[in-house]
Chain A
Amino acid sequence: MIVRMVVAGVLLCLGSLSVLAADGKLEAEEEQAFKQAAALVDPSLVRIETVGGLEQVGEVLLGTGPTSGVIVSEDGYIISSSFNFVSKPASILVTLADGRRFAAKQIANDKLRLLTLLKIDAAGVPPARPAPRGDVRVGQWAIAMGRTFDLTTPSISVGIVSAVNRIWGKAIQTDAKTSPVNYGGALVDIEGRVLGVIAPLSPAGNGETAGVEWYDGGIGFAIPLEDVYASLDRLKSGTDLLPGLLGISFAGGPSTNVPVIVDRVRYNSPAQQAGLKTNDRIVEADGEKIARVAQLKHVLGRKYGGDSVTLGVQRGDQSLSMELALVGELIPYEIPYLGILPKREASTEPGVGVRFVFPDSPAEKAGLGRGDRVVKYNGADVADTRALTDLVGRGRPGDTVKLTCLQAGKQAVLEITLTTLPETIVGELSAEIIEKPVADQAVEKPAGEKPAEPAKTGRFTDDLAGHDHSYWAYVPEGYNPAAAYGLMVWIHPGGDTMEATMIKQWATICERRGIILVGPKADQVARWVPGEAKFVEGLVAHMREKYTIDPQRIFVHSHGSGGPMACLLATRHREIFRGLMLAGAPLQGQVGDNEPEFRQQFFFVCGEDDKALATVKKTVEFLRKVKFPASLTTVKGLGAKYSANPEIDEIGRWADCLDRI
């Protein structure tokens, strides 16, 4: 017994000591392996320096320091992260591991994987050896290398492979530290083979600087070098590679955890050319079974414009197979146009009443008149305004459609060729009459329930609960909750809320056209900060809760230095704002693609003596090029001041037409 205890004790002691000894040895051997792996890759890793260029892109301040690249062919092609060139440098320099220095040319960009190919005039340089994609295992060592700190020895960060096939199949994820110190450098396995090229990526964003905020954060990415080699010849030819697009949207909206049911098929897109139709269900892609949108994105996420994909499609009982050639750029969507304003009514009658027919519009030419009702569109019943807007939005300018209408009680079928939303603003537009609410019309509430507090009308100031901000508002005195109102969100310019001016200029128009005016105030009236978008968003939600507001007619209006904040709201919250009206300010920021789900219309008024005019004109041109409806009115003799009539009246008419079809 005693013997057994002694032996056990000694063995225990022995065991723990030998583990420590083995640990020390293992640690030393692993360290040796890191160094050897790095030494193998060293000659293929270059330093990149740039001259000139921007200081800041978006919110990311760009460094001036050197970055890294990986040699991919003996004749001097080098791949690097596009992040290293977002500053659009005037000149690029490459220094090899042996100290030789070369002027580099930017050959092409891979905009799917966010890589840039460079070329130097060198021969016999050592290309990096790729690790086979299939060999990469989660948990294996991954060493991140860059050549920024020291020219003679690359920097090393040691971690593991955290995941494979990240960011829709494009990237290997690692917990080795990745940052501008090694973006463009190599992620290396323990055998000294290159797993991938280190690049900032983000599952959410898709610009060159997306993901930089995660630097040194334990989440880093590398683009598999094998994939780089696979697309190298195409990049060498000098054309940029773009992400491959199908041109469909899914029934589940932006969610990826839903079945792949086709909602819209964009005009002239690969999907349309292959014959995909609304309600088709995609069940297979390149031989892989597809149940959810996420799986399809995994297959498509690695493909370029020009690549093809074979889709298995279920249409009713039919099983179809179609091959599609993806494109890099889709032809922009253009909102088709009938030329009517619908009645804003909660009618029990079928279809959509016509409030107004625009002069020279397709509707007028086909003989549609005020007071008519549209009951069918291409044979399908039209339930309400929303349904008609949606049906028309699914067509394209040039399409001829059949409208079934009730004209003076009689049914007529009109053939109408759709055009696109005109840029001119209608000169004469009588307002829709909103009846005054009658006191005894109030809906009777069941006993015990308190009568709702009547919504405030006229001019008032208030604080928004939950936000440390105040706002002012003007609600038409004749407000009738039974009618739907437009909502104008006034983003004041820096330093002046312009409350008095706005009330003075707008009160009568608001009354006439049924527009509620709300003026959020920046915490520091001197300037808006982007974070205050949350407050404005909350304010819109609050107003929609208190008042009857037509979602088709919510728009942002601003002047001068309020422009950037107004643009930020309109471009980031396309689901809320249907229009953007800027007086004396250009569009700023990215508008995204015109999409039927997010109908947006733009209107600019600018003084001819305003310095902003040139940029305003440019932004209007740009918007028209990408097929957004954009109107522009220039005012003789006006400088940078806020407009007066007749422009205010025109803005009122524009706002009153936001629900045009």
Chain B
Amino acid sequence: MGTESMKQRLLQTCLFILTICVGSNAHAQSGVESIAAVSPKVVKIFGAGGGQKLHAYGSGFLVSPNGHIVTVWSHILDGDTVNVVLHDGRRYQGKVLGAEPPLDMAVLKIEAENLPYFDLAETPSTVGSVGPGTRVLAFSNAFKVATGDEPVTVMHGVISAKTSLAARRGSFESPYTGPVYVVDAITNNSGAAGGVLTTRDGRLLGMLGKELRNTQTNTWLNYVMPISELKETIDQIVSGNFSKRRNPDDEDSPGKMRPRRYDAVDFGIVTIPDVLNRTPAYIDRILPGSQAEKVGLLPNDLILFAGDNLVQSCKLLREDLGRLEANDVLKLVVRRGDTLISVEVVAPRKGDE
């Protein structure tokens, strides 16, 4: 056998093995490969701000081949235009195409073609199994470390939890109040908002949120808004069919003062004097002939829940009762000794209604 044919056979074999490798690789894409694919879809944004406390930079991601960019709604967009810098250093003027402050989101447009982008049509069906423990990658220009033709920063971690940024009692002071992923990595820093979270194999999960303090634990929260929550609005803005919604949460937002309709005494409950910041809602007296007496509440019972809300103090009880409407049924859970007792009361119709 000649050396030439041996060479050829060897080459063939090698190429064959190579093909197998590449083929099998597609099923278990590694983080390294995902990063190479995702990085070009994330952009650096420079805009208004730059004072002592307000950074003038942020992150965004492409959702169309012709320059639609999703980012967070922030002061950076206050000017008429922003500068958008792609991973390869190309620089464009971006204009705000539309914004939805309740979702803390805006869509920008740059004039460019054939850009790498996240195809939102593909995303929702593929993320069902994502939950605590799922490995994720976060891409953003936190602290504007990347400039010019440098791709954005990548961090790795896992999904720590799924929770909701419920506006109730101002635990989280964020305009966005929907479900979020909490990430087990310090993803939310200056300029990171508008970046993306993907799975280990590069599927888009959501947009990194702003810096946010969790007042329940006095810790910083690293959170991501799922793309499924944003997709509909993004599509509308991109297609030009968007009209601003009235914020459905406006009425419940903690900043808005509403008349307090009900008080504990309307149910025949007198709590102990509210002298501390966190005075527990102990029942001091029950008014004779009242609803509270009928359902069997007693002095010294400690009110723990009003509906689903934990009542941590007299102040919070007043807030919860204040929100009731006439004829609302309210479940109260009280602690008597070491047992929990549930009762139901109905908000009475008041004379002036």
Contacts and interface: CB of A to CB of B under 8 A. Distances in A.
Contact of A49 (B32, B281, B310, B313): B310
B338 A179 contact: no
A14 B132 contact: no
Interface string A127-162: 000000000000000010000111001111110000
Interface string A38-78: 10000000000111111100000111111000000000000
B158 A34 contact: yes
A179 B217 contact: yes
B171 to A, nearest CB: 7
Nearest to A28: B28
B327 interface: no
Interface stretch (A18-26, A525-533, A623-631): A18-26
Contacts, number: 180
B313 A20 contact: no
Contact of B312 (A21, A24, A51): A51
A158 B184 contact: yes
Interface stretch (A99-107, A453-461, A474-482): A99-107
Nearest to B335: A103
Contacts of A13: 18
Contact of A52 (B14, B18, B278): B278
Nearest to A104: B338
Contact of A27 (B22, B135, B280): B135
A215 interface: yes
A2 B4 CA distance: 11
Interface in A137-196: 143, 148-150, 153-158, 176-177, 179-181
Interface in B81-106: none
B30 A51 contact: no
B219 A156 contact: no
Interface stretch (A3-11, A220-228, A386-394): A3-11
B167 to A, nearest CB: 15
A218 to B, nearest CB: 10
A90 interface: yes
A156 B160 contact: yes
A154 B132 contact: yes
B290 interface: no
Interface in B190-226: 200-201, 214-220
Contacts of B287: none
A21 B21 contact: yes
Contacts of B335: 91, 93, 103
B340 interface: yes
B17 A23 contact: no
Interface string B311-328: 111000000000000000
B158 to A, nearest CB: 5
Given A24-B28, A149-B161, A90 B133 contact: no
Nearest to B340: A103
A153 B162 contact: yes
Contact of B131 (A18, A24, A102, A153): A153
Interface centre among A10, A87, A143, A176 (most CB of B within 10 A): A10
A10 B279 contact: no
Interface residues of A, number: 61
Nearest to B337: A103
Contacts of B186: 216
B304 A51 contact: yes
A216 B219 CA distance: 9
B235 to A, nearest CB: 29
Contacts of B333: 101
B171 A65 contact: yes
B177 to A, nearest CB: 15
B31 interface: yes
A27 B200 contact: yes
A43 to B, nearest CB: 15
A28 B201 CA distance: 9
Interface string B1-20: 00100110011001101100
B158 A20 contact: no
Nearest to B179: A150
A79 B29 CA distance: 41
Interface string B269-291: 00000001111111000000000
A156 B220 contact: no
Contacts of B132: 35, 38, 153-156
A52 B317 CA distance: 12
B265 to A, nearest CB: 21
Given A31-B135, A53-B278, A150-B162, A63 B215 contact: yes
B93 to A, nearest CB: 38
A28 B220 CA distance: 29
A121 interface: yes
Contacts of A6: 7, 10-11, 14
Nearest to A33: B133
B254 to A, nearest CB: 15
Nearest to B201: A24
Interface in A378-422: none
B247 to A, nearest CB: 25
B184 A157 contact: yes
Interface centre among A20, A24, A31 (most CB of B within 10 A): A24
A17 interface: yes
Interface centre among A27, A30, A93 (most CB of B within 10 A): A27
B133 A63 contact: no
B158 A51 contact: no
Given A65-B216, A215-B219, A20 B32 contact: yes
A63 to B, nearest CB: 4
B313 A52 contact: yes
Contact of B311 (A23, A51, A102): A51
Contacts of B3: 3
Contact of B218 (A34, A61, A90, A103): A61
B216 A103 contact: no
Nearest to B136: A31
A61 B218 CA distance: 7
B182 interface: yes
B147 interface: no
Contacts of A65: 171, 214, 216-217
A11 B184 CA distance: 38
Given A153-B131, A180-B219, A27 B31 contact: yes
A23 B30 contact: yes
A180 B216 CA distance: 9
A65 B168 CA distance: 12
A246 B159 CA distance: 47
Contact of B302 (A3, A90, A101, A148): A90
Interface in B235-263: none
B126 interface: no
Contact of B220 (A52, A153, A216): A216
Contacts of B311: 51
Contact of B158 (A11, A31, A64, A148): A31
A62 to B, nearest CB: 7
Contacts of B157: 158
Interface of B: 3, 6-7, 10-11, 14-15, 17-18, 21-22, 24-25, 27-33, 131-135, 157-163, 171, 182, 184, 186, 200-201, 214-220, 276-282, 302, 304, 310-313, 333, 335, 337-340
Q: Which 9 A-B pairs have the closest CB atoms?
A: A65-B216, A52-B280, A24-B28, A149-B161, A155-B161, A24-B30, A90-B280, A10-B14, A180-B217
Interface of A: 2-3, 6-7, 10-11, 13-14, 17-18, 20-21, 23-25, 27-28, 30-31, 34-35, 38, 49-55, 61-66, 87, 90-91, 93, 101-103, 105, 121, 143, 148-150, 153-158, 176-177, 179-181, 215-216
9 contacts: A17-B18, A52-B278, A90-B280, A93-B304, A149-B162, A154-B132, A156-B133, A179-B217, A180-B219
Given A53-B278, A87-B278, 19 more contacts: A14-B21, A20-B32, A31-B134, A38-B132, A51-B310, A62-B218, A63-B216, A65-B214, A65-B216, A91-B302, A148-B216, A149-B182, A150-B161, A150-B162, A154-B161, A176-B184, A181-B214, A215-B219, A216-B186
